[in-house]
Amino acid sequence: MRISIIIPAHNEAKYLGDCLDALVAQTSTPDEVLIVDDNSSDDTFSIASTYSDKFDWIRVFQRKSIDEHIPGKKVVDTFNFGLQHASGFDLIGKFDADIILPPNYFEVMLNHFQSNWKLGMCSGLLYVNKEKKWVYENIADKDHIRGPIKLYHKACFNKIDGLRPGVGWDTVDVLLAKYHDFEIKTDSSLKVEHLRPTGHGYSSKNYKAKGEALYKMRYGILLTKIAALKMAWQAKNPNLFFQMLIGHSKAAIRQLPRYVSKEEGIFIRKYRWKGIWSKISRNNFSSQS
């Protein structure tokens, strides 16, 4: 199975070398790694070019875009720019430049995809350094495939029609994969070091965009409130709850285009409610025992 990895990169000079060292050291290297430098003002392009000069399966491209930070959209647009240059592949990955993979990462990924023809997406788990210890980055359940380490089977990627250009792209892809009856897997034995924790530099604009994304995914107002409350609780910032609701309300008033169809939206809401009731049942069982 041919593996193509696309790494959108903007001012990643601090981390990119370590990321690429880990890719080069893989027991089973990808068939190609495409680094797309998006308007970097540091040495990102120079560092990437050093690796592409040494390894013919690493290629570097430069993309010129507007300087404004547009949450979600810029990274997907940069990924899609790289996708235009990808060779034939069976597995396509969107990886961040601030991660360090364990050396057997792609060897294990290949085993998972080759042994299960229904597997649509697969990944390891992200860990962050806290007080000189690598601990699980606990902002998502361990069965959720995180944005920095997305690996798709081509059939799944095509069926979900690629990535949505905006905040929430790394949630709606999982939901649509399940809608199309693909399986999702995270391997807890694969601990990926995340050098820059998620949420670094987040602003109120980011959280309003998250509320907008929930509207586009057709969550409905009650599920949106639950999701916003969970995120605010995890961030220990009550204001985020209101910022997300503002983002959702503004999107509804403007009637922004949705990420999913009405039928897909019905599936997503049922799937989310099923997960909520399942967690409530488990917690009740645990408290009783």
Per-residue model confidence as pLDDT tens digits over 98-155: 999 999 999 999 999 999 999 999 999 999 999 889 999 988 889 999 999 999 999 9
- Strand, helix or coil at 39? coil
Q: Are 269 and 223 in contact (CB under 8 A)?
A: yes
| pLDDT tops 90 at residue 203 | no
Of the pLDDT bands very low, low, confident and very high (cuts 50, 70, 90), residue 289 is: low
DSSP state of 77: H
What is the average pLDDT across 46-64? 97
Q: Which residue has the tokens 């790394």?
A: 170
Is the pLDDT at 59 greater than 70? The verdict is: yes
Q: How far is CA 227 from the centre of its chain?
A: 17
Determine the 3-state secondary structure of 284 from DSSP. Answer: helix
**Which tokens sit at 212?**
């907008």
Instruction: State how far the alpha carbon of 196 is from the alpha carbons of 5, 114, 274, in Å.
Output: 20, 32, 33
pLDDT for the residue numbered 127: 97
What is the pLDDT, as a whole number, of residue 201?
Answer: 47
pLDDT > 90: percent of the chain: 80
What does the angle CA 155 – CA 97 – CA 41 come to, to the nearest 5 degrees? 125
* pLDDT value at residue 281: 77
Contact 148, 210 (CB under 8 A): no
CA quadruple 35, 39, 42, 45: dihedral sign: positive
**β-pair type (99-100, 3-9):** unpaired
How far apart, in whole angstroms, are the C-alpha atoms of residue 289 and residue 279? 15
Query: What are the structure tokens assigned to 17, written together?
Result: 């070398």
For position 69, what pLDDT does the model report?
63
Pairing verdict, β 58-63 and 119-130: unpaired
Structure token digits, residue 14: 């601090």
Q: Report whether pLDDT(61) > 90.
A: yes
Pick the CATH number of 3-194 from 3.40.50.300, 3.90.550.10, 2.30.110.10, 3.30.70.2860: 3.90.550.10
Nearest C-alpha neighbor of 136 from the set 198, 90, 214, 86: 198
Distance CA 43, CA 13 (A): 5
Q: Where are the domains of the chain?
A: 3-194, 205-288
Hunting for tokens 């602003």 — which residue is that? 203
User: Residue 152 pairs with which residues in a beta bridge?
Assistant: 92, 121
pLDDT confidence bin for 68, thresholds 50/70/90? low
Residue 204 has what pLDDT?
58
pLDDT tens string 183-201: 999 999 999 999 998 765 4
Q: From residue 63, how far is each of 13, 34, 173 by CA, in Å?
A: 16, 12, 24
